Amino acid sequence: MPAVSLLATLVATVLGFVLGALWYGPLFGKRWMTAVGMTMEQIRQECNPAMTYGATFVLGLVASYVFGLYLGPNPGRAFSIVAGAAAGLCWVATALATNYLFEGRPAVLIAINGGYHAVRFTFIGLAFGLLG
């Protein structure tokens, strides 16, 4: 089995988690809620924080670890960052955009969610470039 830095995996996951708190909080939280048609009161009533944040953290660990597998051992800082940005923008964001277009979702939602994943995977690449 290929060696994947568990430290880089954990750091990448935490970076994505912190980014999500900022991205969907003070940076774009209100615009995101409007785009998905929810209010803060609905989120409070319908969201189980332990389940949502716990599952999100586990999913982040999986994404980070598998991205580490993709990068391989000692991938180099520049390659890792560029690969992360490309994965987030060209794989994840474009996949979301494809679904959102067919679902008739607003373009702002594509920008918010796609932008988050573009930055998130850039951070994952950065973590592996520095620690992998």
| Domain interval for residue 70 | 6-131
E strand or H helix that includes residue 114? helix 107-131
In a domain, 1, yes or no: no
Residue whose pair of structure tokens reads 């935490």 in the numeric block: 14
In a domain, 107, yes or no: yes
In a domain, 73, yes or no: yes
85-111 pLDDT, tens per residue?
999 999 999 999 999 999 999 999 999
pTM: 0.93
pLDDT of residue 1: 61
Residues 35 and 105: beta-carbon distance below 8 Å: yes
For the chain, the domain total comes to 1
